[in-house]
Amino acid sequence: MTRFSLGKYLLPTYVFLTFLFLMVPIGYTFVFSFNDSIKSNIIWRGFTLDNWLNVCDQADVCGAFGNSLLVAVTATTVSTVLGTMIAIALVRYRFKFRSATNLLLFLPLATPEVVMGAGLAAQFLDFGWTKGLTTVIIAHVMFTLSFVVVTVKARVATLDPALEEAGRDLYASPMQVFWKITFPLLLPGILSAAMLAFALSFDDFIITQFNSGSVDTFPKFVYTAAARGIPPEANVVGSFVFIVAIAIVIAVQVRSAMKKRKLLSK
Amino acid sequence: MAFVAFGSQAPTKEQGPSKTGRVALFLLLPGLFYLALFFITPLVSLIITSLKAPSATGAIGRYDLGLEFGNYVYAVTQYAPQIFRSFSFAVLATVIALAISYPIAYFIAVKSRNRPLLKGILLTLVVAPFFISFLLRTFAWKQIFSNDSLVVNVLKDIGIFGADSYIIGTNFAVVFGLVYNFIPFMTLPIYANLDRLDLSLVEAGSDLYASPSKTFRKITLPLSLPGVISGTLLTFIPISGDYVVASRDFLGGPDTAMIGNVVEANFLRIQDYPTASAISVMLMATIVVLVSAYVRRSGTDDLL
Amino acid sequence: MATEFIARGQDLELKGIRKEFPGFVAVDNLDLKIPAGEFFALLGPSGCGKTTTLRMIAGLESPSKGEILLGGKDIAGMKPHERPVNTVFQNYALFPHMSVLENVAFGIRQRKLTEPLAKAEKALAMVELEHLAQRRPQQLSGGQQQRVALARALVNRPSLLLLDEPLGALDLKLRRQMQIELKAIQMEVGLTFLHVTHDQEEAMDMADTVAVMNQGHIEQLGAPEVLYDRPKTAFVAKFLGQSNMFIGKVTETNSETTSIEYKGKKITGLTKRSEKVTGVIAIGVRPEKTNFHETEPVSDPGLNILGPGEITDIRFTGVSNQYQIDIPGIGVMTVFAQNVGRSPVVELGAQVYVSWKIEHSFGLSDLPSGVEEDQ
């Protein structure tokens, strides 16, 4: 029974080509970070390491990057704490207004950024608050919260309640049960959620643009620079972040694969 | 929903909620209060602002409370082309993204199920574009498609393009950019769903004389529908509000403005807050309708 | 917080315990007394309330009504971590992020007692797993995990040890082995064990006293042999083994014997082994107490005789042969005959008589469900 097996290669080929396609802008950004350009990074002039070595020559780039980091770290911390609390409550506790809570948590995921950004800006206007670092952080906590809840919730749901019951049975008070049993076991999920929140906050543009006033974050800097030409230092920062992120993801995967192998070996 | 893909690797065991009491309230209230203050109230602010009238003092950017429903009429009539264009782009980009993403999700979730290393690599690659700033990605395409780029020149040489042809600023460029940026949003929910597909169902199909393509159409495809719907919502909604891709500084041109561009312009430059708010409210209302249709079918527990 | 641990081996008493959940009652007016140092089994089908009862004793659920007295003191209001009671959970609930040794030492540490690790090592030695002390629970087999769970509970010397179907996940051979070990450990340390299970063989094998639970209340309580030999209700009779059941109106009763009429035949049992002696009652007999004969046995006041009937089914189960005998006008009876090498009539279709001694009959207090009182 012979069957023409071209079909077998069709899908993998397609996938391979698609992934190549997905990588194009990444490659482009990386390559052009080495461009020996003066201000605008549009035409290739020549290879140089100067951009990488002296990335803060373009002071705006580093400043914006610093702001993005500050905002992301702060927002991630607040959002992760609040979101973890909600996730635990959702999975472990019975309470009356569950449907409404689910809906309230879901809505930010389904709302276009432009609506959330405009809404917050309108509100800050009504309150009379000046837009700046604080308003950006407030905005970032808001839209990352639901993502944290979803991620941690998935992890809480896999936690066997019998483990906590065993803790109480073995003389641990509720607080001790939480810190010695629940929290360590939830930690991978919480860290995942924190990383997700950080990534979302760092890369956010639309909501930030509406609510940051004169404060520049990295995406905002790129946007405003796009008109006259994005300096190669921005490419450097972008590529750097990419490399760090990929390295973390790979490290996590390798570590969990090694752990799995170690557990199975004995 | 979608984001189980980001979360834990273990499949979720069903654990029912077991405890009641005030601890639940203590855990919930801070976060929910925060959302009420900084998500719900802004939406209310938007509605209120959309009904404001120009200030009696005549100052630019200043408005008084009012019930100017006429703002909506103005917004719709003034910006009808952009509104129509936004939804056309969103629909088109979503459909194309679906067509591109489904096979990828299928390949990772079904065909690579037995090779965790490959699966891990592919998933990382799908998500990788996220790690480069959205703006840098889009800007890269702008450079690649710009008027004196390699791509355009080659197309001109081959003869597909005339001497005056260009890519940037066309509808094609905008849709292309939208599709590119949102492929991961479409792929991951479908992947999450297909990952849980019980392959013995597919085997049962072929055991019962269905050809591979029939098995796919009658078994796999219907079962993956929830993932497809998730992915569609998760793609369509952000696209409909996007304005970076269509911005004139990126892949857009004078004729490609979307709703988002209108809101941005009115809010941040023209300071016509009522019009910007009216458009935002209408956009939000449309999305709420879409999502309600989805929720009515599957209930709220599945949402998160 | 200094938790006082009363001397071990406390009596446990449940008085009028009731547990309601939204929509149903799990435990209804339960009274139970377990003397110190006993191995006690709570036996019943799923959903009968046995696990709920165990959780109430552990403090993981609180009763809607009633008292739980440990050594005379009501512990119903105490939180789980305040009670000198420990549980071996059904799926072991070993902490995956701690080593086996740390798991076992956990309770000692929480109570802030001295030398937690030394004590944990001793407990592990008792279950012969001291060589696995540094492993993680996920690296252990099911049987090993079960023993670690046991050590983790026992190391705390609780007044009462609760076991929630701990052997359910093990295969047959391992289960049998663990049953022997558990019983040996209990006898060695002298603690009170409360073992919850749905496996009647397990309960009868290990326990000093068995309580059979059904739909939230205890149907019968007593030593395993007594429960098996003299079930008082139809549920207990059916749950603890097979029986042949005859339902009929009482025709005569005196201080020695009670008889019923069953489809024209007379079936007799001893009055002291009958719960009810008026009206329509059910009399049963265990299949292994019956015999079959090729020729009609001589009639005897001490024997119930039925037949002739045809052997319609024979099943060979290793230890015994199980025969189904269809007696026209009566019904199908089950007879077990031990496989001792001699061969009684074994062919299908053979015509035989069935008999049993009247002192092996038992009279129940109720009728099997689905049967109504006629007449």
β-bridge partners, A93: B19
Q: Residue B304 in contact with residue A89, Cβ under 8 Å?
A: no
Digit-coded pLDDT (tens) for B221-267:
888 888 898 889 889 998 988 888 888 888 888 888 888 999 999 88
Residue C258, SS3 per DSSP: strand
> Quick check: A107 and B39 in contact, CB under 8 A?
yes
Q: From the CA of C310, how many Å to the nearest CA of chain A? A: 54
Q: State pTM to two decimals.
A: 0.79
Q: Cβ separation of A162 and C3 shorter than 8 Å? A: no
| pLDDT classification of C259: cutoffs 50, 70, 90 | very high
Selected for mutation to probe chain B from A111, A191, A224 (highest B CB count within 10 Å) is: A111
- Sign of the torsion angle spanned by Cα atoms B250, B253, B257, B261: positive
Buried b (16+ CB within 10 A) or exposed e, A225-240: bbeeebbbbbbbbbbe
Q: Is residue B298 part of a domain?
A: yes
Distances (CA, A) of C143 to A62, A100, C127: 59, 45, 11
Q: Residues C35-88: pLDDT tens digits?
A: 888 999 999 998 899 999 999 999 888 899 999 998 888 888 888 888 889 999
Q: How far is CA C207 from CA A170, C179, C223, in A?
A: 25, 10, 8
Residue B47 covered by a domain = no
CB A137 within 8 A of CB A198: no
DSSP assignment string, B108-161: IIIITTT-HHHHHHHHHHHHGGGGS-HHHHHHHHHHHTSTTSHHHHHHHHHTSS
Determine the pLDDT at residue B19: 61
Average pLDDT, whole number, for chain B?
A: 82
> How far is it, in rounded angstroms, from Cα B230 to Cα B101?
13
Whether A162 and C89 lie within 8 Å, measured CB to CB: yes
**Residue B2 pLDDT more than 50?**
no
> What is the spatial distance between Cα B302 and Cα C77, in angstroms, rounded to a whole number?
38
- d(CA C94, CA C99) in angstroms, rounded, equals 9
pLDDT averaged over chain C? 88
Identify the CA nearest to B242 among candidates C279, A152, C52, A223.
A223
Whether the complex's predicted ipTM is more than 0.90 is answered with no
d(CA C140, CA A253): 24
With pLDDT > 70 as the criterion, what percentage of chain B qualifies?
90
Contact C152, C126 (CB under 8 A): no
- Give the range of the structural domain holding residue B228, as residue numbers without chain letter: 80-303
Name the region of B15 (left: φ>0; alpha: ψ -120 to 50; beta: rest).
Answer: beta
Q: Which residues contact C42 (CB under 8 A, 6 or more apart)?
A: C50, C53, C54, C194, C195, C196, C197, C211, C213
Q: Is residue B40 part of a domain?
A: no
Q: Into how many domains does chain B fold?
A: 1
**Strand order across the beta sheet in which C65-70 lies:** C24-34, C12-21, C65-70, C73-74
Neighbours of A1 (CB within 10 A): 2
The tokens for C93 are: 């609930």
Whether residue B177 is contained in a domain is answered as yes
Report strand pairing: C192-197 vs C160-164: parallel
Rounded to a whole number of angstroms, the distance from the CA of B190 to the nearest CA of chain A is 15
Nearest to B30 among A85, A105, A153 (CB): A85
Q: Is residue B12 part of a domain?
A: no
Inter-residue contact C335 to C329 (CB < 8 Å): no
Summarize the confidence of residues B23-29 as an average pLDDT. Answer: 83
Question: What pLDDT score was predicted for residue C341?
Answer: 63
Query: Which positions in chain A touch C79 (Cβ < 8 Å)?
Result: 168, 173
Contact C167, C146 (CB under 8 A): yes
Which pLDDT score is estimated for A40?
A: 66
CA distances to A171, B105, B267, B290, C100 from B227, in Å = 44, 10, 36, 16, 41
Q: Tell me the two tokens of residue A227.
A: 């008109």
pLDDT score for C104: 94
Amino acid sitting at position A93: Y
pLDDT bin (cut points 50, 70, 90) of residue B152 is: confident
Residue B42 lies inside a defined structural domain of this protein: no
Is the per-residue pLDDT at B18 higher than 70? no
Query: What CATH number does the domain containing B103 carry?
Result: 1.10.3720.10
Euclidean distance between CA atoms B72 and B77, whole angstroms: 9
Two structure tokens written together for A64: 């914006």
Residues in chain B: 304
From CA A24, how far away is CA A27, in angstroms rounded? Answer: 5
User: Where is average pLDDT lowest: A71-80, B15-24, C101-110?
Assistant: B15-24
Residue B177 is predicted with a pLDDT of 92
Q: Is residue B48 part of a domain?
A: no
Element (H, E) at C312: strand C303-316
Among A92, A164, A168, A171, the strongest candidate for a mutation testing the C interface, having the largest count of C CBs within 10 A, is A171
Write down the residue that tokens 């780029």 correspond to.
B149
Calpha distance B137→B131 (Å, rounded)? 10
- Out of B132, B264, B268, the one facing A25 most closely (by C-beta) is B132
For residues B93 and B258, what is the distance between their CA atoms, to the nearest angstrom? 13
pLDDT tens-digit series, residues C281-308: 999 999 999 988 888 889 888 999 998 8
Q: What is the dihedral of CA A256, B106, B295, B96, to 10 degrees?
A: 120
Q: What residues have CB less than 8 Å from A100, skipping those under 6 apart?
A: none
Q: Within 13 A of A264's CA, how many CA atoms are on the CB side?
A: 6
Q: Distance from CA of residue C146 to its chain's centroid? A: 20
Q: Chain A window 169-198: which residues touch C at a Cβ cutoff of 8 Å?
A: 169-173, 176, 181, 184-185
Q: Residue B44: inside a domain, yes or no?
A: no
Question: Parallel, antiparallel, or unpaired for β C351-357 and C331-338?
Answer: unpaired
- Note whether B135 contacts A82, CB cutoff 8 Å: no
Burial (CB count within 10 angstroms: exposed 0-12, middle 13-18, buried 19+), residue C71: middle
Q: What is the CA radius of gyration of chain C?
A: 25
Considering only CA atoms, give the Rg of chain A: 23
B13: pLDDT strictly greater than 60: no
- The residues near C253 (Cβ < 8 Å, ≥ 6 apart) are C259, C271, C277, C278
User: Using the beta-carbon criterion (under 8 Å), do C106 and A173 form an inter-chain contact?
Assistant: no
Residue of A nearest to C113 (CA): A171
Interface mutation target, options C62, C89, C134, chain A, most CBs of A under 10 Å: C89
> Is B151's pLDDT higher than 60?
yes
In whole angstroms, give the CA distance from residue B280 to residue B287.
11
**Position C337 pLDDT exceeds 80:** yes
Q: Would you state the pLDDT for residue C195?
A: 94
Q: Does B171 touch chain A (CB under 8 A)?
A: no
CB contact (8 A) between residue A171 and residue C107 = yes
Structural contact between residues B242 and B129, judged by C-beta atoms closer than 8 angstroms: no
What residue has token string 């910007």? B276
State the count of interchain CB pairs (< 8 A) between A and C: 66
Question: Which of C4, C99, C110 would you mutate first to test chain A, the one with the most A CBs within 10 A?
Answer: C110
What CA–CA distance (Å, rounded) separates C61 from C17? 12
Sequential DSSP letters for B14-75 = -----B-SHHHHHHHHHHHHHHIIIIIHHHHHHHHHHT-EE-TT--TT-EE----THHHHHH
- Whole-angstrom distance, CA of residue C338 vs CA of residue C200: 21
Closest residue on chain A to B149 (Cα) = A43
B159–chain A nearest CA distance, Å:
24
Cis peptide leading into residue C328 (ω within 30°)? no
Q: Find the mean pLDDT for residues B128-146.
A: 88
Among left, alpha and beta (phi > 0; psi -120 to 50; other), residue C128 is left
Give the pLDDT score at B120.
Answer: 84
Residue B9 has pLDDT above 50, yes or no: no
Vertex A19: Cα angle to A18 and A22 (nearest 5): 90
Residue A112 phi/psi, 5-degree rounding, is -65, 145
Residue-level pLDDT at B12:
36
Q: What is the mean pLDDT of residues B144-164?
A: 80
The alpha carbon of residue A219 is apart from the nearest alpha carbon of chain C, in Å, by 40
pLDDT value at B278 more than 80:
yes
Q: Per-residue pLDDT for chain A (266 aa), expressed as one digit of tens each?
A: 444 556 678 888 999 999 999 999 999 899 888 888 766 677 777 888 888 888 887 778 888 999 999 999 999 999 999 999 999 888 888 777 888 888 888 888 888 999 999 999 988 888 888 888 999 999 999 999 999 998 898 888 888 999 999 999 999 998 899 999 999 999 989 998 999 899 899 999 999 999 988 888 999 988 888 887 788 888 889 999 999 998 988 888 888 878 877 776 65
B198: CB partners within 8 A, 6+ apart = none
User: CA of B153, closest CA in chain A: separation in Å?
Assistant: 14
Q: Across the beta sheet with C291-293, what order do the strands follow?
A: C291-293, C351-357, C303-316, C320-327, C331-338
Classify residue B270 as exposed, middle or buried by CB count within 10 Å of its CB (0-12, 13-18, 19+). Answer: middle
